[in-house]
């Protein structure tokens, strides 16, 4: 592993490609040449990186508020479908080439690729002073999440992560109530999910042997991107990549940016100091069949919601049963004959409990005290327009020159992603880990510390600027 991972994160960083022979090496001179003016054009000009699946809706929503200039996808079928709607957009299968050739013509980039390809186009775009909307989870590694935060701040760009629950008025009201002290001192947070719903352990724990012919519509080199090269198999593209260590972030990465979002914001969580996981079917290729993870958070201030607490995460099934919070806690929040929702969250305070049977924390009830307004926020901005509302808010931030207007900007989204991805390291390690946020290091286990980042394939490196 490159030694830059263990250096202080506030050094100057540069994304470079050593594939000079392919014409994609972005030198400092080229980078300067393609930078657009700090202010966007009167009509925000967007590029879409990853325009199939969730990316299809993301780029269409961006098109509702601006002009679609370029589209990039490793799958020609995805590109063909989007070009029918946006026929004037330039077509690319390599995001490096898109940024080099169209940098002067775009103001903002929407990134909706598999997780392992989030950081490269996002960080390069930000260094070119392009605004970035990136799907959740923000990155593939803890290191990348920190780098995304620092890069956005350094270049003053407007950012937004695609966890659409952030636009929900109910979530924003929940944040207000917890921070108003309604629940008292927060003791515990419990979050569960119905994921995984894609192939991973125990059904898939090793790679298929051999190599299938790459479909003519798939650009396999560009799909692999910064990951280690492997032969094409149909079990990776499209959706099934989520369960593979090299490409996805498993159930935790897929859903915690949604389901833990309200509690994370409400309690102003930052970095956990201790992370411990109990997982089943841990292997070297895919994410586990089940996991319980405990994150210890220190005191973060003098307000009740900033007290030291434990955050518990539950995923998957054991013995045919879902892994869930303790039955005695569920008995306190469920009404008679009420069935527990497939995903949700519980915030336990000294005075009351907040129970949300919802992926986004958008609907909730309070057990232990009464409150009149559980709907619209009273201090935070009202949105309530879901995915489109996220894009609208991001565009407002761009036009106003105020990154903080985007409620899921990379300052908060990077912190959330960084924290939850530490859980995946704990799963793979099997040990109680101690994390030092200041140095971005796991201090008590050298092998686990290596997982904070990863090796980058030649031509797709994230390296320190010389």
Domains in the chain (CATH in brackets) are: 3-164+387-411+448-464 (3.40.50.720), 167-202+247-380 (3.30.360)
24 falls in which pLDDT band (50, 70, 90)?
very low
Stretch 237-257: mean pLDDT, rounded? 96
Average model confidence (pLDDT) across the chain: 92
At 463, the pLDDT band (50, 70, 90 cuts) reads: low
* Residue whose entry in the numeric block shows the structure tokens 């003098």: 302
Residue 56, pLDDT > 90, answer yes
Q: Is the pLDDT of residue 3 over 50?
A: no
Rounded to an integer, the average pLDDT of 87-107 is 97
DSSP at 314: E
CA pair distance 40, 21, nearest whole angstrom: 33
Average of pLDDT values for 358-373?
96
- Is residue 198 scored above 90 in pLDDT? yes
User: Could you tell me which of 137, 109, 414 has the C-alpha nearest to residue 250?
Assistant: 137
Question: Taking the CB of residue 74, how many other CB atoms lie within 10 A of it?
Answer: 26
Q: What is the DSSP letter of 464?
A: E
| Overall average pLDDT of the 311-335 stretch | 97
| pLDDT score of 446 more than 60 | yes
Helices (H), 64-212: 76-85, 95-102, 119-127, 142-155, 169-179
Q: What average pLDDT score do residues 129-154 get?
A: 97
What whole-number distance in Å separates Cα of residue 463 and Cα of residue 123?
12
The whole-angstrom separation of Cα 293 and Cα 118 is 25
Between 462 and 363, residue with greater pLDDT: 363
Question: Averaged over 86-111, what is the pLDDT?
Answer: 98
Burial of 305 (0-12, 13-18, 19+ CB in 10 A): buried
Q: Residue 37 carries which DSSP code? A: P
CA angle 112, 147, 120 (to 5 degrees): 40
CA separation for the pair 409, 385 (Å, rounded): 17
Identify the band that residue 465 occupies on the pLDDT scale cut at 50, 70 and 90.
low
Of 401 and 37, which is predicted with more confidence?
A: 401
For the segment 204-227, the average pLDDT, to the nearest whole number, is 95
Say which residues have a Cβ less than 8 Å from residue 246's Cβ, sequence separation at least 6.
Answer: 116, 227, 228, 230
pLDDT in the model for residue 86: 98
Instruction: Decide if pLDDT at 193 tops 90.
Output: yes
The packing angle between helices 76-85 and 54-63, to 10°, is 30
3-state DSSP call for residue 447?
A: helix
pLDDT of the residue at 42: 73
Contact yes or no for 294/276 (Cβ under 8 A): yes
What is the chain's length? 466
What average pLDDT does the segment 163-170 reach? 98
User: Which three-class secondary structure string do you get for 293-350?
Assistant: EEEEECCCCCCHHHCCEEEEEEEEEECCEECCCCHHHHHHHCCCCCCCCCCEEEEEEC
**Does pLDDT of 30 surpass 70?**
no
CA 14 – CA 125 distance, rounded (Å): 11
Q: Residue 466 and residue 464: Cα distance in Å, rounded?
A: 6
The angle subtended at Cα 164 by Cα 252 and Cα 453, nearest 5°, is: 40
Span 25-42, average pLDDT: 45
Q: How confident is the model at residue 41 (pLDDT cuts 50, 70, 90)?
A: low
Let me know the angle formed at the C-alpha of 424 by 360 and 326, rounded to the nearest 5 degrees: 60
Ranges of H-type helices in 4-127: 28-34, 54-63, 76-85, 95-102, 119-127
Higher-confidence position of 393 and 32: 393
Of the candidates 418, 406, 427, 403, which has an alpha carbon nearest to the alpha carbon of residue 452? 418
């Amino acid at each position: 592993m490159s030694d830059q991972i263990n250096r202080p994160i506030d050094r100057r960083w540069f994304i470079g490609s050593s594939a000079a022979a392919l014409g994609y090496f972005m030198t400092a001179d080229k980078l300067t040449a393609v930078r657009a003016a700090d202010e966007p054009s009167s009509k925000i000009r967007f590029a879409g990186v990853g325009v199939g699946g969730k990316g299809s809706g993301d780029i269409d929503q961006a098109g509702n508020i601006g002009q679609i200039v370029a589209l990039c996808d490793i799958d020609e079928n995805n590109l063909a479908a989007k070009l029918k709607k946006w026929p004037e957009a330039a077509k690319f299968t390599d995001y490096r080439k898109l940024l080099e050739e169209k940098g002067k013509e775009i103001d903002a980039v929407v990134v909706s690729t598999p997780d392992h390809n989030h950081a490269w186009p996002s960080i390069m775009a930000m260094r070119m002073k392009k605004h970035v909307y990136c799907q959740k989870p923000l990155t593939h590694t803890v290191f990348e999440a920190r780098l995304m935060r620092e890069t956005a701040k350094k270049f003053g760009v407007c950012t937004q992560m695609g966890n659409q629950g952030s636009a929900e008025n109910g979530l924003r009201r929940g944040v207000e109530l917890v921070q108003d002290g309604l629940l008292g001192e927060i003791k515990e947070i419990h979050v569960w999910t119905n994921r995984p719903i894609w192939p991973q352990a125990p059904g898939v724990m090793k790679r298929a042997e051999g190599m299938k012919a790459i479909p003519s519509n798939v650009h396999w080199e560009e799909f692999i991107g910064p990951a280690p090269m492997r032969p094409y198999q149909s079990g990776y593209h499209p959706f099934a990549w989520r369960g593979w260590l090299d490409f996805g972030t498993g159930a935790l990465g897929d859903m915690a940016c949604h389901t833990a979002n309200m509690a994370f914001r409400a309690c102003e969580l930052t970095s956990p100091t201790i992370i411990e996981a109990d997982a089943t079917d841990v292997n070297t290729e895919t994410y586990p069949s089940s996991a319980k993870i405990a994150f210890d958070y220190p005191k973060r201030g003098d307000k009740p919601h900033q007290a030291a607490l434990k955050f518990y995460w539950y995923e998957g099934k054991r013995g045919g049963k879902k892994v869930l919070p303790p039955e005695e806690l569920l008995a306190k929040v469920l009404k008679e004959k009420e069935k527990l929702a497939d995903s949700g969250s519980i915030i336990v305070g000294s005075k009351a409990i907040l129970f949300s049977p919802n992926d986004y924390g958008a609907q909730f009830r309070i057990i232990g005290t009464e409150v009149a307004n559980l709907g619209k926020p009273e201090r935070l901005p009202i949105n309530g327009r879901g995915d489109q509302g996220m894009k609208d808010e991001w565009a407002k931030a761009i036009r106003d020159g105020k990154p903080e207007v985007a409620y899921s900007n990379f300052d908060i989204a990077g912190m959330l992603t960084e924290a939850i991805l530490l859980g995946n390291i704990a799963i793979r390690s099997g040990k109680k880990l101690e994390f030092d946020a200041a140095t971005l290091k796991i201090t008590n286990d050298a092998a686990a510390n290596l997982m904070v980042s990863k090796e980058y394939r030649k031509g797709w490196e994230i390296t320190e600027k010389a």
